[in-house]
Amino acid sequence: MVFTQAFIGVIVGSGIGIGLSALLGQAVSSADFPFRMMWFAPFFGFLGVLIVSITAAMISVRPVLKMEPAMVFSGR
């Protein structure tokens, strides 16, 4: 579940970031400001966000995997 949430966060966050970047690029290019988004910029951006999110998910799921089921259901 943690990894699913991380992956959905990657998809949504990358989509919003790339979309806003493209909108900003369109806005500034109409004002005679040079802007060009190469094909690898969104790819490497998505890959970087994916690596950071998976690493954070692995760090956060580690204590959960070490926990005993009896500690969860004991009500303490």
Tens of pLDDT along 55-76? Answer: 999 999 998 888 887 877 876 6
Say what the pTM is.
0.77
pLDDT for the residue numbered 42: 93
28 to 23, 33, 39: CA distances (angstroms)? 9, 5, 19
Q: Please state, in angstroms and rounded to a whole number, the distance separating the CA atoms of residues 24 and 34.
A: 12
Closest CA to 46 of 21, 13, 23: 13
Residues of the chain with pLDDT under 50: none
Q: Please state, in angstroms and rounded to a whole number, the distance separating the CA atoms of residues 34 and 9.
A: 31
pLDDT for the residue numbered 63: 87
pLDDT for the residue numbered 56: 95
